[in-house]
Every structure is written in C-alpha cells, then in structure tokens.
C-alpha cells in the first residue's frame, strides 16, 4: 500500500487538520517544517484576500508541501476555491459538505484534492469526480462532526473506494495511529493533539482547559439542529444542549454560538467560548513543540506496529 507521505511528499504520513480560526499560515508552516502536511484553515477567514495573505505567509516560512482546508458551509467558499487555484496551492482538503462542483477546476490546476467525509456514500460519489484521496473523519473529532465513529467508518470507506483513505478523529498517540493503519488507512489527520503545541496560536486559557480535560469532557452541540459541533463542556455548551433538548428554536440557539469560537481562540473565554476539541482531549498532558508531538506519534506508532507483529493470536 502506498503511504500518505509518498502521495504528499512529506516526511510523515500525517496531515494537520485545517482548524478554523486556529490554523494560520504560520501554524501550517510550523507543521509542514516538522514533517506533517500543514493546512491553512479557511473556515475562520473573512475574505479571499485574507486567505491569500496566509498562503503567502506560509510560503515564506516553509519550502515543504502545505495545503488549504476549505470549509464548504463558509459564505466565501466559492472565492476561496478560486484563490487556491490562483496561488497554486499544492493540496486542498474540504470539510462540512460536498465539494463536487470544484473538483474539475482544482484537478485542471494540478491540485491534490482530498475531501473529508463522514460517511462512505459521499466518498464513493467523490471518487467518481476524480479526487485523489479521502479523509474519513469519525465523530470523535473536534468541531463539526458526523455520526459514525472512526473505528466503524474507516474500514467501510476503505472498502467503498479504490483511492487512498486517511483516518481522522480520535488520533493523538502512536497506538491510535497504528490502529488507523490496521483499519486500512494510508495515514492520519490530527487536530486536537496539536492544539497544545507551542506554535499553536490559541489563547493560553484554551490550552489550559485542554490540559485539564478528561476523557468525557467533550459534548456535541447542535445534534438536533443539524450542525453538530464537538466542544469542551463549559457553561455555554451545557446550556446550549439543555435548551436544545427542551425544544428551543434554531434562531435562539444561534445567538449562543455566534462568534463563540473566536471568543475561545482569541479572548480565552472558557465560560462562553466554543472550545472545539475531540474526545482525545483527555490524553493531552503538556505543552510541547509541534516537532515533539509528531516525533512521539511516529515513535509510538512504530513501537506499536512492531509489538503487533509479534502478537500471536
Ligand atoms: O469541517 C470539519 N470540521 C469543522 S468545520 C468547523 S467551522 C464551524 N464553525 C461553526 C459551526 C460549524 C462549523 C469546525 N470544525 N470537519 C470535516 C467534516 N466534514 N466533518 C464532517 C464533515 C462532513 C459532513 C457531511 C462532510 C461532508 C458531509 O456531507 C454532507 C453532504 O452534503 O453530502
């Protein structure tokens, strides 16, 4: 099987998730320099020009491959789709929707196109449009999530398509990375475990909340309303889910979340901010450089696959 780093030209078979408002050009460059594929998250940007500036900044800081994540629910998605062509971005990932209408344009521009899916049916459809690989993201992830777990989703996507599949959701150490390979993935995408990286530009209060979190400290808001988002439990997210269960209307609930991710990331408001995080938040114990996080993942993964090779079942 061809591994992800062979497809991307990176040192490691690891993609850094393109986290909205967090994955700046500088952070993506730090991840690319440390051996992963760094991604700039378009999700929190306000204009095409803002995205263009981050792409140019990333290029200044790294000569390694990098990419852009386009959040398809974003009102500027069409504009972002054009900017990545103009800027000759090597890799584009997409999230929170079906990128079908852009695929031909991106392929003509020579871009590697890797959509995120939360179910096999969209993966099968996108394979026909000519995408290069698929990221299968389980509901363990932080942020916008689907219903299926990584354990159930990844092998079903692997069986549904004939292109490489990358596992995402619930991966923060070498054991989980090795498990992703066991499920048939060619690599992994990680997000939550990079939030405590020294280079990650989130507010120190957000990092402190992650370091304090235990395994069951995340909650999904908006499951009923149709935009499920996994965040750390706090006053805002608990109250959101309480009102949602009590039948509050969608517009009322919108008021709660408006700007809440930015409040968490920039202001460090851990009470009413939306601290997006995956279920692996409980595994984070220290702030470290990105390079240390990636190196430990790789070392742990190698140890795990070796141990499994000696397992006589
Ligand atoms: O996109 C993500 N994670 C995100 S985006 C984001 S920004 C945001 N902010 C506030 C509210 C909502 C979002 C934060 N986290 N991950 C990729 C992902 N894509 N997860 C699930 C999906 C997905 C879901 C349905 C992909 C495709 C899909 O298809 C539906 C269809 O149209 O067929």
> Per residue in 232-260, pLDDT tens?
999 999 999 999 999 988 888 877 777 89
Q: What is the mean pLDDT of the chain?
A: 96
Most ligand 1 atoms within 8 A of CB, residue of 135, 143, 258 to mutate: 143
Q: How far apart are CA 96 and CA 105, in angstroms?
A: 19
For atom 32 of ligand 1, which residue has the closest CA?
97
- The enclosing H or E element of 66 equals strand 66-71
In tens, the pLDDT along 122-174 reads: 999 999 999 999 999 999 999 999 999 999 999 999 999 999 999 999 999 99
pLDDT of residue 190: 99
Average pLDDT over residues 83-88: 98
The pair phi, psi for residue 55, each rounded to 5°, is: -60, -45
Check pocket membership of 144 for ligand 1, CB cut-off 6 A: yes
pLDDT of residue 255: 74
**Count of residues in the chain:** 313
Question: Cα torsion at 115, 18, 44, 216 (round to 10°)?
Answer: 100
For atom 31 of ligand 1, which residue has the closest CA?
97
Q: How far apart are CA 303 and CA 88, in angstroms?
A: 38
pTM for the whole structure = 0.98
pLDDT of residue 254: 79
> What angle in degrees, to the nearest 10, is found between the helix axes of 150-160 and 174-182?
40
In tens, the pLDDT along 150-164 reads: 999 999 999 999 999
In degrees, rounded to 5, the angle at the alpha carbon of residue 22 between the alpha carbons of residues 67 and 16 is: 40
Q: How far apart are CA 210 and CA 276, in angstroms?
A: 10
Q: Where are the alpha helices (DSSP H) in 115-203?
A: 120-129, 150-160, 174-182
Check pocket membership of 229 for ligand 1, CB cut-off 6 A: yes
Q: Where do we find the tokens 């397992």?
A: 311
Kindly state the tokens that stand for 195: 């939030």
Question: Sign of the C-alpha dihedral, residues 178, 179, 185, 191?
Answer: negative
């Amino acid at each position: 099987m061809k591994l992800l780093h062979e497809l991307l030209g990176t040192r490691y078979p690891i993609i850094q998730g393109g986290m909205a408002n967090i994955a700046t050009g500088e952070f993506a460059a730090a991840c690319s320099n440390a051996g992963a594929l760094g991604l700039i998250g378009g999700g929190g940007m306000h204009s095409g020009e803002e995205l263009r500036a981050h792409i140019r900044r990333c290029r200044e800081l790294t000569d390694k491959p990098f990419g852009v994540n386009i959040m398809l629910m974003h009102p500027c998605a069409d504009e972002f789709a054009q900017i990545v062509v103009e800027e000759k971005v090597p890799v584009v990932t997409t999230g929170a929707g079906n990128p079908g209408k852009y695929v031909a344009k991106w392929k003509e521009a020579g871009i590697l196109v890797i959509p995120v899916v939360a179910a096999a049916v969209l993966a099968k459809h996108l394979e026909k449009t000519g995408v290069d690989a698929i990221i299968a993201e389980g509901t363990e992830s932080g942020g916008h999530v689907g219903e299926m777990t990584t354990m159930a989703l990844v092998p079903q996507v692997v069986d549904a398509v004939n292109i490489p599949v990358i596992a995402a959701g619930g991966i923060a150490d070498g054991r989980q990375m090795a498990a992703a390979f066991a499920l048939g993935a060619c690599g992994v995408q990680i997000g939550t475990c990079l939030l405590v990286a020294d280079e990650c530009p989130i507010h120190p209060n957000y990092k402190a909340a992650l370091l304090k979190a235990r395994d069951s400290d995340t909650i999904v808001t908006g499951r009923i309303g149709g935009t499920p988002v996994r965040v750390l439990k706090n006053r805002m997210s608990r109250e959101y889910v309480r009102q949602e269960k009590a039948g509050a209307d969608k517009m009322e609930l919108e008021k709660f979340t408006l700007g809440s991710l930015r409040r968490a990331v920039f202001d460090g408001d851990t009470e009413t901010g939306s601290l997006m995080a995956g279920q692996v938040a409980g595994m984070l114990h220290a702030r470290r450089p990105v390079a240390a996080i990636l190196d430990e993942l790789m070392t742990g993964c190698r140890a795990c696959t070796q141990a499994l090779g000696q397992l006589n079942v």
